[in-house]
Structure 1
C-alpha cells in the first residue's frame, strides 16, 4: 500500500501506532492460545496406569450398594431417636349429647347435657421401655453397618478378581501375539525355501497350520479379554479403559493359619450374624418391657349453654393384660428362641467358613508350588527341547513338523502357567479381602445374652392350651 503524505508533525504518531497495535494483537493472541492449550492439557484424562488399589478405590466410590447400606444405617439411627420419645399427645374436639329430636333439636345451648368439649390425652411410656425400643433400632443400625462390611468385602474380592482376569487375559494375548509373529516369520521362511527347492510342501502346510492354530487361540483369548474388560467396567466404570499397572505380590496373604480360628470370627458373614443376634435380643428386651402396660391420662374441658356451668373431666386408661402367660410371655419366649436360632446358625456358618478358608489356603499354596515347578523345570525343559529340535532340523535329523510341535509345547506350557497364576491370583483375592482391614484384629464379642433376659434353655415349660 502507498503511504499517506506527511502532514506536519502528525505523521510520526500514526506510524508508531501502526507498528504498536499489530505487535500487541500478536502478543494477546499468543497468550490466549497458550492459555487454551494449557486448559486443554489440564482437561486431558490422566494416563497413569490403573493399579489394583486404584481399582478397589474406584469400585468403593462407585458402589450404589454401599451407599444404600449407609442410608439404611442412617435410617435406623433416626428411628432410634424417634423411638426414645414419648408418644404424641392426642387433641380431641367434640360435641357431646346433641339433641336431634324435640323442640331443642340441633341446639348447642338449650339442653343442659349438650357440651362442646376439648380434651387432651397423653400416653406415658416408661423410660426403660423407650430405651429398649431405641436400643433395638441401634442394633438394627449395627446390623446395617455389618451388612455394609460384608458387601464391601465381596465388592473388593470381585473387583480384584476382575482386575486380575483382565491382566492375565492381556498377558495371554501378548504371549500368543509374540508366538504368532514368530510363527509367521517361520512360515515366510519355509515358503521362501520351498520356492527355492530347499523345502517340501508338507513343511509349508505344517507352518500354515501352526499359524492358523495360534490365530484360533487368539480369537478365544480376545473374546475372554473383552468379557474381562466388561466385568471390570461393571465395578469401576470408565476407568476400566485405562492400562493396567503392575500387579501386587500374590505369594503372601494377611491371613495367618495359626490364628485362623480367631480370624474367622471377624468374617463379615459372622459379623452380620452377630449383629442379627443382638437385634433379636433387643427385640426380646422390648417384648419383656411390653409386659408393663402404658397408662394414658386425659383432661377434658366441656362448655355448656350460658344457663349451665362448664365441666372438667379427668380420665386414665389402663390396658388390662389379663392373660400374660399366653400372650406377652409367649411373645417373649418366641423372640428368645429366634435369638437362639440365629446363634446356632452362626455357629454352623462359622464351621463352614473355616472349612472354606482352609480349602482356599491349601489350593493357593499348592498353586504357588506348581508355579515354582513351572519356572524351575517345565518351561526350561520345553525351551531346551525346542533348541534341540531346531539343531536337529538344521542337521537334517528332524522334520520341520517336530520343531513346530516343540514350539507349540512351549506356548502351551507358558499358557498353562498363566492360567495357574490367574487362578492363584483369584484365590489370593478371596483370601486377602475375606476380612476387611478395619475388622482385622478385633477382639471376639462377649456373650450376647444379657443378664436381664433368661436364656431360652432356662425358659419354663409352656403351659398347654385348654
Structure 2
C-alpha cells in the first residue's frame, strides 16, 4: 500500500472511531430536547411558512407592477386594403403603459390578514414544539427507567444462575431431589424471558429517540427530572390553559377571521386602471396619443361584496366559538392528566413502599430457611420470581407516572436550559 493511501485509510479509520465515540456518549435530557428541535422537519416547515406569510404581508402593501401594452390596431380584413398595414388611416402601431391602482386601505387590510395568518402559523409551531418536547422527554425517561429495570432483572437472573452449581452438587450428594435442578432451570428460563422483554423495551426506547433526534442515543446521563410530584397544583395548571399553544392557535385563528372580515368590508372600493398610450400611423397620417381609465363598478354590491362580508363575519363568530370549545377541552385534558398522574403515583408508591419491601423480606426469610433445610427450593424460586415481577411492575408504574408527568410539564413548550 502506498504511503499516501495508507495515511488516508488510517485517517478514515481514526475518524470513524472518533465518530463512534461521540455517538456512544450518554445524552442529557436538555441535549436530547435541543437535538430533537434541531432535527424536526415539521417544526422547520412551520417556521418557514410563517416567514413566507410575513414576506407576502410586506408585498401586499405595494401596488401591482405596471404593464407594458403594445400591438397593432385596426388592420383591414376586407376590401382593397385587406391585410395591409400602411393603406388605411385608422391602422396604427400602439404602445402604452398601464398601472392598476388599488386603494391603500384595501392593500393594508390584505397585509393585516396575511400577518394574522403568520401569527397563527407561529402559534401552531409552538403546538408542534410542545408535542415534540413532550414526546422526546417521554422517550428519554423511558430509556432511563427501562435501563434500570433491565439492570435489576439481570442481577436477579445472575443470582439465580449462581445457584445452579450448588444445586447440582446437592443432587449428587443426595440431599436434594433430582427434579430440583429442572425446577431451577425452568425458573431461570422464565426469568430470562423477562430480561429479553426488558431488553426489547430498551431497544424500542432507543429507536424512538432515534426517530425524534436522528441520533443513536443508547445511554442517558444527568439527573432525572423531579417527576415524583406534579409540576404545579391543579388550579395553577388550569389557569395556565390560556397560554396553551393550541388555545393560542385558536385565538390567532379568530384574529385571522376578523382580519378577513375587515378585508371583505372594503372589497367594494373600486380599483382603477390608468393606461397612457402612443399610436403611430402610416406616413401621411397624424400620430395619436391618449389616456384611458378603467374603474370597477360594484353595481350589485348587495349580491356580491355584502354577502362575502356577511360570510366572513359568520366565520369570525365561528372561530370565537371554536376558541371557547378548545379552552374547555384543555381544561378537561388537564383534569384528566392530573387524575392519571395521581393514580400512577399511588400505584408506584404502593409498589415501592409496601409490596416490594415485603417481597424482599419474604425472599430473605425463605433463603434463610432453605439454607437451614426448613424450606424447599420451589418456594425459594417462586419468591425470587415474585421479586422480579414486583420490581418490573414497580418500574412500569414509575414509567407511567413519569410519562404522565412529562405530558403535564410540556403542555406548554419550555425553554431549554443547557
TM-score of the aligned structures, taking structure 2 as reference length: 0.90
Match of 1:232 among 193, 204, 209: 209
Residues 129-156 of structure 1: per-residue CA shift (max 9 Å, x gap): 1011111111111111111111111111
1:130 corresponds to 2:107: yes
Q: Contact (CA 8 Å) 2:351, 2:393: kept in 1 or not?
A: no
- SS of the residue aligned with 1:389? helix
- SS of the residue aligned with 1:251? coil
CA–CA separation in structure 2 for the residues paired with 1:405 and 1:44: 43
TM alignment of 1:85-96, pairs within 5 A: 85-96=62-73
Match of 2:243 among 251, 260, 266: 266
Q: Contact (CA 8 Å) 2:143, 2:220: kept in 1 or not?
A: no
1:169 corresponds to 2:146: yes
Residue in structure 2 matched with residue 159 of structure 1 by the alignment: 136
Residue in structure 2 matched with residue 311 of structure 1 by the alignment: 288
Question: Which range moves more in the overlay, 247-256 or 412-421?
Answer: 247-256
* Greater relative contact order (Cα < 8 A, sep 6+): 2
Q: Flag the 1:43–1:232 CA change in 2: closer, same or farther, 3 A.
A: closer
1:257 corresponds to 2:212: no
Q: Flag the 1:384–1:241 CA change in 2: closer, same or farther, 3 A.
A: closer
CA–CA separation in structure 1 for the residues paired with 2:40 and 2:57: 26
* Bigger Cα Rg: 1
1:210 corresponds to 2:210: no
1:333 corresponds to 2:310: yes
Per-residue deviation, 1:244:
4.4
- How many residues align structurally? 404
- SS of the residue aligned with 1:238? coil
1:355 corresponds to 2:325: no
CA–CA separation in structure 2 for the residues paired with 1:334 and 1:251: 51
Residue in structure 2 matched with residue 372 of structure 1 by the alignment: 349
Q: Flag the 1:216–1:242 CA change in 2: closer, same or farther, 3 A.
A: closer
Per-residue deviation, 1:99:
1.6
Q: Contact (CA 8 Å) 1:112, 1:304: kept in 2 or not?
A: yes
Tell me the C-alpha RMSD between the 2 structures. 2.2
TM alignment of 1:283-298, pairs within 5 A: 283-298=260-275
Q: Contact (CA 8 Å) 2:28, 2:222: kept in 1 or not?
A: yes
Residues 72-104 of structure 1: per-residue CA shift (max 9 Å, x gap): 011111111111111122221121111233333
Gaps of 5+ in 1: 1-31, 439-466
- SS of the residue aligned with 1:284? helix
Residue in structure 2 matched with residue 105 of structure 1 by the alignment: 82
Gaps of 5+ in 2: 1-6
Per-residue deviation, 1:200:
1.0
TM-score of the aligned structures, taking structure 1 as reference length: 0.82
CA–CA separation in structure 1 for the residues paired with 2:75 and 2:118: 52
Residue in structure 2 matched with residue 382 of structure 1 by the alignment: 359
Residue in structure 2 matched with residue 322 of structure 1 by the alignment: 299
Match of 2:34 among 49, 57, 61: 57
Match of 2:384 among 403, 407, 412: 407
Q: Contact (CA 8 Å) 2:92, 2:280: kept in 1 or not?
A: yes
CA–CA separation in structure 2 for the residues paired with 1:248 and 1:190: 44
CA–CA separation in structure 2 for the residues paired with 1:437 and 1:172: 29
Per-residue deviation, 1:234:
0.6
Residue in structure 1 matched with residue 97 of structure 2 by the alignment: 120
Per-residue deviation, 1:253:
4.4
TM alignment of 1:60-71, pairs within 5 A: 60-71=37-48
Per-residue deviation, 1:324:
1.2
Q: Contact (CA 8 Å) 1:255, 1:263: kept in 2 or not?
A: no
Q: Flag the 1:209–1:142 CA change in 2: closer, same or farther, 3 A.
A: same
CA–CA separation in structure 2 for the residues paired with 1:391 and 1:320: 101
Residue in structure 1 matched with residue 401 of structure 2 by the alignment: 424
Q: Contact (CA 8 Å) 1:255, 1:431: kept in 2 or not?
A: no
